[in-house]
Amino acid sequence: MQGPLIETLARQGVTRRTFMKFCATLASAMALPPSAGRAMAEAMAAAPAASKRPSVIWLPFQECTGCTESITRSHSPTLEGLIFDVISLDYQETLMAAAGHQAEEALHAAMAANDGKYLLIVDGSIPLGLDGAYSCIAGKSNLETLKEVAKGAAAIVAMGSCAAYGGLPHANPNPTGAVSVSDIIKDKPIINIPGCPPIPTVITGVLAHFLTFGSLPELDKHGRPKAFYGETIHDRCYRRPFYDQGKFAKTFDDQGARNGWCLFELGCKGPVTYNACATVKWNGGTSWPVESGHGCLGCSEPDFWDAGGFYKALSMPADPLKLAAKAAVVGAAAGVAVSFVNRGKKSAAKSAHETTTLADLEK
């Protein structure tokens, strides 16, 4: 399998134009300018295909398997599938045929054979409470396993909000003492792909980037690839014009909701959430939460479970300290968030006093 990637693909019946078309579509999905598609195609086509399929080890820790569910539902499998023919997934408990001792043997064989070169994917948080007894595989705590496997990894992909930030297990009061991958591993490049779960295209796009360029894409301050997490949900939202016009749904079945107005006052976290849902959408581009009439939960941001309530408007005056903390967390967006606060404050205060529906939802 030596030679440029394009030759490897050609042997599998993939022409250059098919590949360029794939890159153009991938760039569009990644919200990159159209010119990026061509640049990507050129760089990827010329990238040397490895003499051996790069080894990928996928460790599931304290998680719900939602991230695996998401990636196995990637909707344009033909070419992404081919890209994935280029890797060797050596350990993935849910997908692998082996079990028990055989599975653990496969893990250790892959680690020994590809020392320093394999890509480690982690989904789920790592519980530190009770010496890690809350989640164990093959008699070892997740903490032990992570440290052992991370040692020989070229890079680590923290898949989903649990691996990236601790996620749901980390939510207050965090009974298992769950932490993220980056809380433990400090000496390896780590890329966070948060989301609960992350969008399949984002997962495959990042992996394709690593496998073709051999490096991690540009990351933001939360360790997320800028290509997908560069803009807020709000900035790309098709309901944004209603926000600008001050037209808000006040409850889930009022006239505003029926008219498809902005969900800001119903607790939408779109303005402070960086993700690609508004453009890439879900289920093969069918729809996404806001299009289904529900505000964004902010699942790709750190500590989204504890961000003050899914149905509380970002500007809710009842809890100004928490909002200030949230605004500080989002850093670059803070200025934007503050202006939202001021503009939305009056109407949000009004609705908080008039409806009991939102308070009910919070219980």
Partner 1 sequence: MPLDAIPVVAVPPGLRAGELSGNAPALLREIAEMVRRLLSEGETSAIDLQALPLTPADLEWLREQLGEGEIAVTLNADGESSLNETACPGVWWVTHRNPKGAVVSEFLEVAFVPELVKAHQDDVVIGLEHLELLISDLS
Q: Which residues bind partner 1 (CB under 8 A)?
A: 6, 14-18, 20-22, 24-25, 27-29, 31, 33-35, 38, 76, 78-79, 238-239, 241-242, 253, 257-261, 279, 291-293
d(CA 105, CA 124): 22
Least distance between partner 1 and beta carbon 212 (Å):
17
Residues 6+ apart with CB under 8 A from 112: none
d(CA 363, CA 359): 7
Least distance between partner 1 and beta carbon 30 (Å):
10
Is the Cα torsion angle 256, 260, 261, 264 positive or negative in sign? positive
Q: Which is nearer to partner 1, 286 or 356 (CB)?
A: 286
Is the Cα torsion angle 254, 255, 260, 262 positive or negative in sign? negative
Q: Which is nearer to partner 1, 33 or 173 (CB)?
A: 33
Least distance between partner 1 and beta carbon 7 (Å):
9
Q: How many CB atoms lie within 10 A of CB 8?
A: 18
Residues paired with residue 155 on neighbouring β-strands, in sequence order: 119
Least distance between partner 1 and beta carbon 308 (Å):
27
Q: Which is nearer to partner 1, 217 or 260 (CB)?
A: 260
Q: Which is nearer to partner 1, 151 or 236 (CB)?
A: 236
Give the strand pairing for 126-127 and 178-179. Answer: antiparallel
Least distance between partner 1 and beta carbon 31 (Å):
6
Least distance between partner 1 and beta carbon 10 (Å):
9
Q: Which is nearer to partner 1, 213 or 238 (CB)?
A: 238
d(CA 107, CA 120): 11
Number of H helices, E strands in the chain: 19, 9
Least distance between partner 1 and beta carbon 114 (Å):
31
Q: Which is nearer to partner 1, 28 or 355 (CB)?
A: 28
DSSP result, 172-190? TT-TT-EE-HHHH--SS-E
Least distance between partner 1 and beta carbon 234 (Å):
13
d(CA 109, CA 115): 10
For 72, the token pair is 């196995």
Q: Which is nearer to partner 1, 20 or 196 (CB)?
A: 20
* Residue 218 contacts residue 30 (beta carbons within 8 Å): no
Q: Which is nearer to partner 1, 134 or 243 (CB)?
A: 243
Name the DSSP letter for residue 213.
H
d(CA 163, CA 123): 5
